[in-house]
Amino acid sequence: MSAHRVLVTGASGFLGRAVATALVAAGHDVRTLQRRPSGVEGVQDVLGTVTDPATVASALDGRDAVVHLAAKVSLAGDPADFERVNVGGTATLLDAARAAGVERFVQVSSPSVAHLGTAIVGADADPADPVHARGDYARTKAAAELLALRADSDRMRVVAVRPHLVWGPGDTQLVERVVERARAGRLPVLGHGAALVDSTYVDNAASAIVAALAAVDRVHGNAYVVTNGEPRPVGELIAGICRASGVRPPAWSVPAGLARAAGGVVEAVWRVRPGADEPPMTRFLAEQLSTAHWFDQRRTRADLRWEPAVTIDEGLARLAPPRA
C-alpha cells in the first residue's frame, strides 16, 4: 500500500486514536484534527473543530487523504448540536477537502444509519435512511453519510465504513458503561438476552478503516458494515465483558417492551431536564439490546481485502485488568 498524507478527524476518541495509531504504523504521514490532543505518537495534532472552516482548511493543507471520525456521539442532547457537528461538520470538511485537492476520503459511519428499529439478520449495508433512523445521532450520521457518498467522484473518491459496536480496553462508551452499571446493580438483561448481535474489537475496526483507505480507488461510492463476524447472544456478550472486567454479570431481567416504553419516557424527561450523564435508557438503546442485529460480512471482506485479526474471546481476555 502506498503511503498517503492523511488527515484524521476525531483522533482523541476511542476509535479515532486507534485508527491514527494504525495509520502511523502502516507508514502514513498522519495529521489529526480534534478539540484536544490525540495522545498518538508520531502525528501532528491540529486543535479545533470540523465546524470551523478556517481550521479545517488549515488542517487539510498538503493532505491527499481524509479519514473522518469526528462526531457528536450520545444517546441524548440538543438536536441542533448533532446537526451542527455531524452534518454541518461533514459538509464543511467535504467542501474543504475538494478545494484542497484531496483524492481519497473515508467516511466513518455507523450501522445505526440504516437501523429502523426491527431485527437485522444477516443484512449487508442497506442504504442510509435519515428519515427513519432512530434518534438524533443515527439520523444525523445517516445524513452525513449520504453527503459524503454524493461527493464521490473521480477526483475525490469516497467510501463509507460502518463499524458496529466497537469495544476494547479503554472504551468509555460500551465497556465502561456496562461495567459501571453492572457494578451498581443497574444493568438488567432485556427480555431473555438471546438476541444475536455483532460487535467489533477496536483493533479490527481500525484495521478495516485502514484497509478501506487502501481500497478506496476500487470500492469508492460504496458503504461497508464492519464487524468481527461472530454474532453472540447479547446477554452472553454483556456477561463476557463483565466477567473479563471482574464484575458480576447482571442477574435480573426486564421485558423488552417495558424497556422500550420506559426509554421513551426517559427521553421525554431528558429533553426537559437533562442529567449530567447519559440517560439510563432510551428507545434506541432498548431496541439495540433486545433485537437481533448481525451482518453478512462477505462483501466487506472481499472488497476491502480485510479479515479481523482479534477474536471476541481474545478481545475479552485483553479487557482483564493487569495483575499486580
Cβ atoms 236, 158 nearer than 8 A: no
Q: What residue type is 17 in one-letter code? A: R
pLDDT score recorded for residue 265 = 45
Name the pTM for this structure.
Answer: 0.90
Residue 224 is among the residues annotated as catalytic for this protein? no
Q: How far apart are alpha carbons 244 and 261 in whole angstroms?
A: 31
Domain spans, the chain: 5-164+201-227+296-308
Active-site residue (options: 14, 137, 284, 294): 137
**Domain 5-164+201-227+296-308 is found in CATH 3.40.50.720:** yes
Per-residue b/e over 183-221, b at no fewer than 16 CB within 10 Å? eeeebbbbbebebbbbbbbbbbbbbbbbbbbbbbeebbe
C-beta of residue 144 within 8 angstroms of C-beta of residue 87: yes
Distances in Å between the Cα of 282 and the Cα atoms of 12, 136, 263, 264 are 26, 12, 4, 6
Instruction: Tell which residue, 34, 117, 43, 127, has the closest CA to residue 73.
Output: 34
- Divide the 324 residues of the chain into consecutive groups of 10 and give the mean pLDDT of each group: 90 95 96 94 95 97 97 80 94 97 97 84 90 89 97 97 93 79 75 82 98 97 97 88 86 59 49 58 58 91 98 92 62
